[in-house]
Amino acid sequence: MRCRKCGQKAVINMRQHRLALCAEHYLEWLPQQTERFIKKYEMFTRYERLLLAVSGGKDSLALWDVLWHLGYNVDGLYINLGISGSLDYSEQSQQFAQNFANERDLKLISVNVHEKYGESIPEIAQRTRRGQDKACSICGLVKRHIFNQTARDGNYDAVITAHNLDDEAAVLLANSLDWSLERLGRGQPLLPAGGGFVRKAKPFCRFYERETAAYALLRAIAYISEECPFSIGSKQLFFKQDLNRWEDHMPGTKLRFYLNYLSALEEGAFPQRQESPAELEQQRCPICGQPTITGTTCAFCRLFEK
């Protein structure tokens, strides 16, 4: 297979776009597309301070590399969750994130959950009812809280995450199967700031996971390839595998599923958040000061109530 742009040997074939590219043109194409999505969804500008959630995996490090090359003002935030397992997962992934930052002279903020809150994610999960048999639920809650808090404390304009299209499509499939209209109403690539929440943006939301991985490989970015021990057997992985089977037989299935959803979302097919920013402004957690829809202690602080 040949590169559509220069006729050299292709290294990747994106069947959903009917586009094969060589290494050189692929490394041009992915950042150009990222820039296009940033502008299309009006995510952020080069004049703003951005905080990127960095896990040490391929997606977040590839996105950091792309934003850095595009000239955006972006710092990284690594959250050490205290997940060990046989390979000391959190320590290893932090090392990948730190090495990436050091090699490029970028700023990485690290927050250690155990040091800051007295317990690691597995310990919180074991102790709380919410975390019983599903540490991922605790993990998501804690990460969202720390992202927002760190961004507010550091006066960042937006929090950036490296969710790719496979991530978004898997969540969309799960929410569709559950007919979770409330969740389906908040799957935008850009969530504006308001009511104490910092703006959130997902510049990689239209790339397939193999495309971000190919970018990381071609740019020789060292990333943690091992899976989080808690993700093994997760519903998200299950949905991703099924979506990829469909994609193999019907190229473009994942892309159409996601883009048609975004169109439906824009047309108002799903209910949007009921609380206005002004209402949320009134509803702050009395312990941490972060917004909460209940108006009482937020879900994060409730994890630590005795």
Partner 1 sequence: MSDDSITIILKDKTYPMHAGIPLHKALRILDLTANAHLALRDGQLITEDEMLKNGDRIQLIAVISGG
- Tokens (6 digits) for 278: 């002004």
Running DSSP on this structure, what letter comes out for residue 230? Answer: G
Q: How many CA atoms lie within 13 A of 189 on its CB side?
A: 25
Nearer to partner 1, 163 or 195 (CB): 163
Least Å distance, CB 16 to partner 1, is 9
Q: Cα(182)–Cα(175) distance, rounded to whole angstroms?
A: 9
Nearer to partner 1, 253 or 297 (CB): 253
Nearer to partner 1, 58 or 206 (CB): 58
- Tokens (6 digits) for 260: 């048609």
Asked if 59 contacts 212 with a C-beta cutoff of 8 angstroms, the reply is yes
Least Å distance, CB 175 to partner 1, is 16
Nearer to partner 1, 11 or 142 (CB): 11
The residues binding partner 1 (CB under 8 A) are 1, 10-13, 20, 23, 55, 57-59, 166, 208-210, 212-214, 217-218, 225, 227-228, 231-232, 234, 236-237, 240-241, 244-245, 247-248
Running DSSP on this structure, what letter comes out for residue 41? Answer: T
Least Å distance, CB 80 to partner 1, is 14
Least Å distance, CB 192 to partner 1, is 25
Least Å distance, CB 277 to partner 1, is 30
Nearer to partner 1, 212 or 292 (CB): 212
Nearer to partner 1, 101 or 171 (CB): 171
Nearer to partner 1, 76 or 195 (CB): 76
Least Å distance, CB 25 to partner 1, is 13
Q: Cα(296)–Cα(156) distance, rounded to whole angstroms?
A: 26
Q: At 96, which amino acid appears?
A: F
What is the residue whose two structure tokens read 């057997």? 233
Least Å distance, CB 294 to partner 1, is 27
Q: Cα(168)–Cα(215) distance, rounded to whole angstroms?
A: 19
